[in-house]
């Protein structure tokens, strides 16, 4: 296992507990683009989230802004809870959505609000 894979798995497991069981070292499957999971672990979580210069809280702010602008609803389902685990408050998440409306548009912010309400609202 490469260093970036090991670091990526560690970061991923810390931010999204339980999604990758202990002992699993590859997300590769036999389907279309079957290496995408491994590339994500190696690059996004192993290389980008571990860089110096920004703490995880700051990276979560940047990530939420980008995902809101892209209307990446599936990724937002994971990253809203990650942002709270990384130290953002609910009020700060709200403010990211509000602020994004001015730059990414109200439809993108409304889409993000819908996802946040699904995944962050108490059951």
> Using one digit for the tens of pLDDT, what is the confidence trace for 75-120?
999 999 999 999 999 999 999 999 999 999 999 999 999 999 999 9
Are 5 and 38 in contact, with CB atoms under 8 Å apart?
yes
Q: How confident is the model at residue 68 (pLDDT cuts 50, 70, 90)?
A: very high
DSSP 53-115: TS-HHHHHHHHHHHHHHHT-HHHHHHHHHHHHHTT--HHHHHHHHHHHHHHH-HHHHHHHHHH
Q: How far apart, in whole angstroms, are the C-alpha atoms of residue 9 and residue 6? A: 5
pTM of the predicted model, to two decimals?
0.90
Max Cα distance, the chain (Å) = 44
Looking at the chain, which residues constitute the CATH 1.20.1290.10 domain(s)? 56-120
pLDDT at 123 (0 to 100): 60
pLDDT at 111 (0 to 100): 99
Out of 1.20.1290.10, 2.40.10.120, 3.40.50.970, 3.20.20.80, which CATH number does the structure's domain 56-120 have?
Answer: 1.20.1290.10
């Amino acid at each position: 296992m490469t260093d970036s894979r090991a670091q990526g798995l560690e970061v991923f497991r810390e931010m999204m507990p339980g999604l990758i069981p202990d002992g699993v070292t590859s997300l590769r499957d036999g389907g279309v683009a079957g290496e995408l999971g491994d590339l994500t672990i190696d690059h996004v979580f192993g290389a980008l989230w571990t860089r110096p210069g920004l703490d995880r809280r700051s990276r979560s702010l940047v990530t939420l802004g980008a995902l809101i602008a892209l209307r990446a609803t599936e990724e937002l389902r994971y990253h809203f809870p990650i942002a709270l685990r990384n130290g953002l408050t609910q009020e700060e998440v709200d403010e990211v959505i509000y602020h994004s409306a001015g730059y990414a548009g109200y439809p993108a912010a409304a889409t993000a609000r819908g996802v946040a309400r699904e995944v962050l609202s108490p059951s």
